[in-house]
Chain A
Amino acid sequence: MADVITYREAVAEGIAREMRRDPAVVCLGEDIGAAGGVFKTTAGLFKEFGPERVWDTPISEQAIVGAAMGAAMTGMRPVAEIMFSDFLACCWDYLANEIPKVRYMTGGQVTVPLVVRTANGGGLGFGAQHSQATENWALTVPGLKIAAPATPADVIGMMAAAIRSDDPVVFFEHKGLLASKGAPVPPDHVVELGRAAVVREGADVTLVALAAMVPLALRAAALLAAEGIEAEVVDLRCLVPLDMSTVLASLARTSRLVTVEENPYQGGWGATLVSVVADEGFGLLDAPVRRVAGECVPLPFADVLEERVIPTVDKVVAAVRDLTAY
């Protein structure tokens, strides 16, 4: 076993582990077969499992997710890839109207155990239609579980949990993390969905982050530590189920909260999170909450413009300084 594994390799490894243990797991998507995926996140799957388990599709997002749904309703565990998360809009009917509702509106008759994987997020200069962080789109729909791992180990562990889940899971793989590295994980490594992780302990402020915002929050925490401010960093890992108990327990230690979100401030997951804190944890707070989030504009192309729009270490540090001075 290699000493390190990349986030990109972890995606393929996580899927492969589940395909080896369960013949009902099949993959479908654009360019995922012999090409190994445009992000190489399915590299090796076609070679190992062949064309009856790994299916190249036309550029037909509705057909991909609709077919995955039909297969999931009838005994398979499909893993569908939507290449860029922006393209989820092309099959939004399935994510908003079909997949999350069919169990409910049939009175529990039908189960849809599928995973929709997608490359999410900005920072790579792909422009407005290939750079969005879209996890909030899914958050508006009851009936979808939402996973967004930040490390290779979590990719593998959460992929296992997502594929084994009897409920539909939208699995956001962050483009900006694909080359990041981490330690390999043992066989049968599973990270239960809905378990946040305290990835750095600190007594002064809680930073709650997701996916690519986790390493960014950790870098901010390191800078703040040099100033004597100890930030605790919570990696949320999932938006549904949402682990509020870990967040509230952290707040009980720190009494200050900053959410770090890549998506636009407008309607962001941080707003849901802080509303729960206001409702259930108001007494834990010694200061207002702050949301470091994307600006409410389409993602621009140039690095200098994109940096202005999405969260940066400096923005997080500034928000924390402001709060600790309160």
Chain B
Amino acid sequence: MDTGELLAMYERMALIRRTEKAAHDLFLQGLVKGTTHLAAGHEAIAVGASAALRADDYVFATYRGHHHALARGATPEECLAELMSRATGLCGAKGGSMHLTKAATGMLGSYAIVGAHLPMAAGAAWSARLRGTGQIAVAFFGDGATNIGAFHEALNLAAVWKLPVLFVCENNLYMEYTRIADVTAVARPAADRAPAYGIPGESVDGNDVVAVRESVARLAERARAGDGPALLEAATYRHFGHSRSDPAAYRPAEEVERWLKHDPLDLARGRLTELGVPEETVTAADERAQETVRQAVDAARNAPPPDPRDALTDVWADGGAAWRT
């Protein structure tokens, strides 16, 4: 493992962690309305996968998608501005926390209907194949999505059409408030279903950024070579509840403690130390992330609200919303 790359991945994870903390604080201050589904704890999946992808590959995420947007090049400032309903937000404050999208960098959206984006990712992969670009598509989704029809329809279509698409399950043990194990017939809700579609189903420690990077790199190469889709189930844990209204009191204390000790940032920091990277170098990366997010919060706070007239733009490709000629 190249230490420069690992340090860069660490810094990106730190940036995500700081941004999530800022989102949480801003919500408590009443500056973020609606809800947020924080991904603190899931950073290694987004960052490790992104490090293994080409810049022009496509990514589709869920309502818990801040980390994917940030891993794919969205800035903390544009993400926080979106959450704070500012005109400078990633989607002009029309999307909000659950719909962070940066199409220019291949982050093709965060979708808040569970499982809906898996067929879309298959379609983007189909398109890449038809255009002969060598791109792949990746759909990140939670364990809860594995019991949705669209999951199964997408897997079957991708398998029979041999599409270059990866399905990456972020299994954090809970769907929303209910344990996935209590409502699912197999132990690994994603990976155990893969054989039914004739595709590889693998597990990985989703808190180990290096392991995620290696798994995604291997499966991506396979997909690019024309060998079809794969399912990767990444084990991870939410630091917060399902959403802002959920204190996650249903989780056993010892389970929470065990997983917090298996923090993706700590793991990466440990690896860096093992590889001989000085402590102060890692701390400097942390401080850069903290400062970037501090400036992002200030900039978002000072940004203007959207113009109410913009509520009536962007329905159609001509920019407008007229339904009559």
Contacts and interface: CB of A to CB of B under 8 A. Distances in A.
B128 A195 contact: no
Interface stretch (B101-109, B178-186, B222-230): B101-109
A166 B117 CA distance: 21
B68 to A, nearest CB: 14
A67 B156 contact: no
Nearest to B324: A242
B313 interface: yes
B324 A244 contact: yes
Contacts of B49: none
The residue among B113, B124, B137 with the most chain A CB atoms within 10 A of its own CB is: B124
A93 B116 contact: yes
B85 to A, nearest CB: 12
Contact of A105 (B91, B153, B316): B91
Contacts of A240: 323
Interface stretch (B92-100, B200-208, B210-218, B289-297): B92-100
Interface string B116-131: 1111111111111011
A241 B324 contact: yes
B319 interface: yes
B90 interface: yes
B150 A63 contact: yes
Given A63-B119, A76-B131, A240-B323, A103 B157 contact: no
A109 to B, nearest CB: 4
A172 interface: no
Would you call the interface of chain B mostly helix, strand, loop, or mixed?
mixed
A98 B324 contact: no
B276 interface: no
Interface string B168-204: 0000000000000000000000000000000000000
Interface in A232-268: 240-245
Given A74-B128, A93-B116, A103 B123 contact: no
Interface string B71-100: 000000000000000000111111110010
B122 A70 contact: yes
A63 B156 contact: yes
A58 interface: yes
A94 interface: yes
Interface in A71-98: 71-76, 78, 93-94, 97-98
Contacts of A94: 116, 119
Contacts of A113: 317
A143 interface: yes
B58 interface: yes
Contact of A74 (B99, B108, B154, B325): B108
B315 A241 contact: no
B284 interface: no
Contacts of B324: 194, 241-244, 276
Given A67-B123, A245-B325, 10 more contacts: A58-B157, A61-B153, A62-B149, A62-B154, A98-B111, A98-B113, A98-B116, A109-B104, A111-B317, A166-B316
Interface of B: 58, 60, 89-96, 99, 101-104, 108-109, 111, 113, 116-128, 130-131, 137, 149-150, 153-154, 156-157, 160-161, 313-317, 319, 321-325
Interface of A: 26, 52, 55, 57-58, 60-63, 65-76, 78, 93-94, 97-98, 100, 102-111, 113, 142-143, 165-167, 194-195, 240-245, 276
Return the 4 tightest CB-CB contacts between A and B, nearest first. Answer: A66-B119, A70-B123, A67-B123, A166-B317
